[in-house]
Structure 1
Amino acid sequence: MTAWIRFRLADGHTRFGILDAESVTEYAGDMFGDAISTGRVHGVDELTLLSPCLPTKVVALWNNFYALSEKLGKAPPAHPLFLIKPPTSVIGQREPIRRPPAYGGKIAYEGELAIVIGKRCSNVSVEAASDHIFGYTCINDVTAAELLNEDVNFAQWCRSKGFDTFSCIGPAIQREFDWRAARVVTTLDGVERQNYPLADMIFSPAEQVSLISQDMTLEPGDVIACGTSIGVGSIKDGATVDVAIDGIGVLSNTLALES
């Protein structure tokens, strides 16, 4: 199984490579194109993990699991329902989630599977979509929940989810991953809050890529957050959220204590 990561070395330089147990083989070039091994190997304890990709956008789905759709009393959508999160919202493994300075309300976690695009795609078929998927990772789609319906005239999905640090992505991009057999397990300070099967998705990853590519061009490194299921909750300042998916790893981020 091939797990790609981005990392920062002690000298401050940023690199990418393949994670193998307790070491990382460094590569140069383009992770999504001509990646060439430099021959350098680093110990995991010598580096700091970063977000495994730098998306131009994060496309985040809503109402993409049958269990949550039923709980909400919503019909399954005919087309993926989504919002766009900016690249400035992205952080990586163990980076702190930061509360917006002017917001003192509820902040919520959503543990999800994320698709990482590997090839530029526009108007691709479902059959061709898999060729455009580089791999999969974990995402915590963070929300300033009380801003969502602050204005009764307009639901503020992008504002409530687009703050800096509100897209936690990582720890690695797994190339070989059977999403149909995996579950998302989200814990809050070690207590399980979500445990749901990815097989319950309304739109499969290939369907998501195909249908969203009909709405916008997806670039290499872009991320699609596949949506979440039952168990979303709030994060207190200082609390840690872990999003675990077997075959990918555990993404861990803490909501920083207010200064």
Structure 2
Amino acid sequence: MAWGRIQTADGRTLSGMLTDTGLQPMTGFGSTTPAGPVEALDGATLLAPCQPGKFIGLWNNYHAAAEKNGLAIPAAPLWFLKPDTSVVGHGATVTLPPQAGRVIFEGELGVVIGTPCRNASLAEAEAAIFGYTCINDLTSLDILNADPAFAQWSRAKGFDGFGVIGPSIATGLDWRDLTIRTLVNGRERQSYPASDMIFSPAEIVQHLSQDMTLMPGDVIAVGTSLGVRPVKAGDVVAVEIDGIGSAEVTLA
């Protein structure tokens, strides 16, 4: 199943199951109860497939990147928060603020929560995962490292449009089989296996649920690996994962 969210030509926002030509609205996030007729995609705008209450990102969660950068394997997931106003979907135009300076892309796999999750066992954490999506965690390097006394993770990653999610949420996938690819202006810049993760999606959810209650629609970007590079206005950046699709944005 592919779950998506659209804005219709007459301004309505609908979410539900996606097909090649339409969206079947559902009564709530992850519901299987129809809430009206199928809405044609022609003339509609594809939005981020959910609007997370919490958008959580991970740092240093891939063995290859940790080894190359000389980073120790963490004892628990290292995480930060991105504001909900950073969220955009496939096809959006993202304006790079002048104060952001150097900005890099980070193509990532996204985990989407389907049921409330608090102090979960590993099995409960696995069951709480609704599906997977593509993420581009855009980051201002200049702001992140501007103050040696305080790494500004949230500000560096929190500008409007710096959290690209989409194009859909796919269910029924085995994350171990997935490859995350990032293309800039059609040229592949990242290609790495999700199976290289330090903490698996279920382990991440389990750990995070000890710190906070995870709610339906919350999104966890599980971190990136090798190949991140600076981007500039005019670039078209796409994060692609087979079985999910491509989340592409244009930078301005």
- Shorter-chain TM band: over 0.9
Is residue 2:216 matched to residue 1:223? no
Aligned twin of 1:166:
162
Which of 147, 150, 163 is equivalent to 1:151?
A: 147
Which of 211, 217, 223 is equivalent to 2:207?
A: 211
Find the aligned partners of 1:149 and 1:58 in 2 and give their Cα distance.
22
Find the aligned partners of 2:116 and 2:29 in 1 and give their Cα distance.
14
Find the aligned partners of 2:174 and 2:43 in 1 and give their Cα distance.
31
Aligned twin of 2:119:
123
Find the aligned partners of 2:100 and 2:211 in 1 and give their Cα distance.
35
Aligned twin of 1:245:
241
For 1:3-14, list aligned pairs within 5 A: 3-14=2-13
TM-score by length of 1: 0.94
Aligned twin of 2:43:
46
TM-score by length of 2: 0.97
Large movers: runs of 4+ above 3 Å: none
Find the aligned partners of 1:164 and 1:35 in 2 and give their Cα distance.
32
Aligned twin of 1:138:
134
Q: How much has 1:70 moved relative to structure 2?
A: 0.3
**1:32-58 Cα distance to aligned partner (Å, 9 max, x none):** 3x4421351233223110010111121
Find the aligned partners of 1:104 and 1:16 in 2 and give their Cα distance.
33
Q: How much has 1:203 moved relative to structure 2?
A: 0.4
Is residue 2:99 matched to residue 1:103? yes
Find the aligned partners of 2:71 and 2:115 in 1 and give their Cα distance.
33
Which of 171, 184, 189 is equivalent to 1:175?
A: 171
Q: How much has 1:24 moved relative to structure 2?
A: 2.3
Unpaired runs of 5+ residues, structure 2, are: none
> Quick one: percent identity of the two aligned structures?
50
Aligned twin of 1:57:
54
The code of the aligned residue for 1:45 comes to: D
- Per the alignment, do residues 211 and 202 of structure 1 end up closer, same or farther by CA in structure 2, a change over 3 Å counting? same
Q: How much has 1:104 moved relative to structure 2?
A: 5.3
**1:43-83 Cα distance to aligned partner (Å, 9 max, x none):** 32231100101111211000000000001111111100011
SS at match of 2:91: coil
SS at match of 1:40: coil
CA contact (8 A) 2:48 2:89 kept: yes
The code of the aligned residue for 1:30 comes to: G
Query: Which deviates more from structure 2 when the two are superposed, residues 63-72 or residues 17-26?
Result: 17-26
Find the aligned partners of 1:179 and 1:44 in 2 and give their Cα distance.
28
Aligned twin of 1:30:
28
Which of 181, 187, 192 is equivalent to 2:183?
A: 187
**1:142-174 Cα distance to aligned partner (Å, 9 max, x none):** 001111110111111111001111100000010
Unpaired runs of 5+ residues, structure 1, are: none
CA contact (8 A) 2:48 2:165 kept: yes
Across the two proteins, how many residue pairs are aligned to each other?
252
Find the aligned partners of 2:14 and 2:34 in 1 and give their Cα distance.
11
Is residue 2:14 matched to residue 1:18? no
SS at match of 1:103: helix
